[in-house]
């Protein structure tokens, strides 16, 4: 389970056996959200947030959406690097 970022207590990761659409998971305090990216001609035209486990606190969900908005290109590239190019993801330093 590669960890992409750990920011403001929100852990961003994906599982080693993922599938399309390109997506990541975000976890905070036992709650988990699946963030899916829908692309068309190389551009993100929609991002969805689906609760998977528990309930994200509203203020943390707001922070999550801001972080995803700013870093979506990097998050998608890490997914592509891992699943298509088989590059190793280095866990972030604590």
- pTM greater than 0.85: yes
Q: How many domains are there within the chain?
A: 1
Residue 90 included in any domain: no
Residue 56 included in any domain: yes
Q: Assign 89 a pLDDT band (cuts: 50, 70, 90).
A: confident
Q: The sheet that has 3-7: what strands, in order across it?
A: 3-7, 10-13, 23-28, 31-40, 43-53
**pLDDT tens readout for residues 16-62:** 777 789 999 999 999 999 999 999 998 999 999 999 999 999 999 99
What range defines the domain where residue 27 resides? 3-83
Radius of gyration of the chain (CA): 13
């Amino acid at each position: 389970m590669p960890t992409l970022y750990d920011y403001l207590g929100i852990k961003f990761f994906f599982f080693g056996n993922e599938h399309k659409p390109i997506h990541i998971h975000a976890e905070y305090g036992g709650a988990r959200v699946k963030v899916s990216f829908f692309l068309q001609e190389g551009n993100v035209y929609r991002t969805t947030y689906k609760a998977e486990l528990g309930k994200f606190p509203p203020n943390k969900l707001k922070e999550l959406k801001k972080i995803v908005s700013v870093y979506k290109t990097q998050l998608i590239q890490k997914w592509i690097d891992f699943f298509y190019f088989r590059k190793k993801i280095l866990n972030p330093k604590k």
